Amino acid sequence: MIRGFRGATTVNDNIEAEITKETKKLVLRMVETNQIKPEDISHVLFSVTNDLNASFPAKVARELNGWTHVPVMCMKEIDVPNSLPLCIRVMMVAKTELKQNEVQHVFLNEAIKLRPDLVGNEGD
């Protein structure tokens, strides 16, 4: 079965090192929590809010072990008034045996506000 795995995080500043660090932490948590192997990933879409442009979050994924051939893409999030600032969102599509209600979406930092109904122990 192919399923979507959602994730999001925030950074404190539009700084390449912080975007890289928080994106890596999020993606690794997503694959670890859901036991996803790189060869089972169809593609990964990253979006960022308008206040982030110091780095491409997808660059982090390209540098992970085994992710060389995983298609990744970055895009801008819709600029909705009063939306969560400094936010990186991820939509990972992968093969899994998990049922829809077993998929664990990961929200870190201030992004836990986006889906508090889905946040378990993984929220930081």
Domain positions in the chain: 2-113
pLDDT at 93 over 50: yes
Answer yes or no: is pLDDT of 55 > 90: yes
The fraction of the chain above a pLDDT of 90, given in percent, is 88
Sign of the dihedral defined by the CA atoms of residues 39, 9, 34, 47, in that order = negative
The predicted structure's pLDDT at residue 120: 60
Q: Tell me the average pLDDT across 95-122.
A: 86
Confirm if 14 and 52 have CB atoms less than 8 A apart: yes
Q: What is the SS3 assignment for 91?
A: strand
Which helix (H) or strand (E) element contains residue 7?
strand 2-10
CATH assignment of 2-113? 3.30.1330.40
pLDDT of 48 > 90? The answer is: yes
Q: How far apart are CA 21 and CA 17, in angstroms?
A: 6
Average pLDDT over residues 85-111: 96
Structure tokens at 38: 């790189």
Give the DSSP letter of residue 124: -
Mean of all residue pLDDT scores within the chain: 93
Residue 31 sits at the vertex; the CA angle it makes with 108 and 86, to the nearest 5 degrees, is 30
pTM of the predicted structure, to 2 decimals:
0.91
Average of pLDDT values for 84-92?
A: 97
Two tokens, residue 73: 């893409």
